[in-house]
Amino acid sequence: MQLFRSLLAIGAAAFALSAQAADLATLSVHVQGIEPESSIPDANALCVPTANGKSGPGQSLRPSIAWSPGPAGTKSYVVIVSDPDVPQDLTQADKPQTIPADAPRQTFYHWVQLAIPADVARIGGSDETAQPKVGIGAINDVTAANPFGYGGPCPPWNDLRVHHYHFQVLALDVASLTLPKGATGKMVANVLPGHVLARGEVVGTYTTNAQLLHAK
């Protein structure tokens, strides 16, 4: 009986989450130079392919991002750039042996900007050292040189999976989220449920793997 009640509770929670997702309004999102499911320009990447089949430093220029206004009740926006295709075992990154496409993966947060005022609908592009003038940056998983800003794509050159980068904008029902100082992107993502009124995204792709680049 206890197991049956637990299964009912899990099912009810899953249904509630599905219903909430179905009720979300959609934001129209535009990212400079990035078309949906197309390759991200090298200028926006932290690592770029090199002639020897590996990768080297890129410019990591932050593209501008713009979005349509959120629904009534929107009090702030969050911009999240994440890559769910990062290998869980990073000790194998950029080594002679390849990382299989089906290797276990984790999500990396490349840029998280929260507490963006409700009357803002665009953040301009810039180099990685310049912070946006609106909102608050969370700590990203990518670059120690600019932990609170944008860190561009930098997939391992020996990874046989093309990485997908989700440029998301979410409209929230609160002006700011309850978070400690120095919150990480993952911490931001964990407190978002229940506060999102609308969302939209552009998904770009990137790889530095020579085999995948030649297959294009």
Residues of the chain with pLDDT under 50: 1-20
**Residue in the structure block whose two tokens are 């090199």:** 50
Contact 67, 122 (CB under 8 A): yes
Residue-wise pLDDT tens digits, 151-197 = 999 999 999 999 999 999 999 999 999 999 899 999 999 999 999 99
Contact 80, 168 (CB under 8 A): yes
Contact 199, 71 (CB under 8 A): no
Percent of the chain with pLDDT over 70: 88
pTM (2 d.p.): 0.88
* Secondary structure (DSSP) of 65-134: EEEPPP-TT--EEEEEEEEEEEES-GGGTTSSSPBPTTS-EEEEEEEEEEEEETT--EE--B-TTSPPSS
What confidence score (pLDDT) does residue 21 get?
54
